Amino acid sequence: MSQKSGRPERSQDSDTPEPAKSDTLLIHGVSEDGRDLAVLRAREDRIEAGVVRRLKEGEAIHGELVKLKPRPEFPLLCDVEVELASPASKAASAPRKLSHGGPAQVATPSYRANWDAIWSKKPKSSAPN
- pLDDT greater than 50 at residue 11: no
pLDDT at 113: 81
- pLDDT greater than 80 at residue 22: yes
Q: 104: buried, middle or exposed (CB in 10 Å: 19+, 13-18, 0-12)? A: exposed
pLDDT at 73: 96
pLDDT at 2: 47
Question: When comparing pLDDT for 85 and 5, which is higher?
Answer: 85
Q: 76-96: b or e for each residue (b if 16 or more CB lie within 10 Å)?
A: eebebeeeeeeeeeeeeeeee
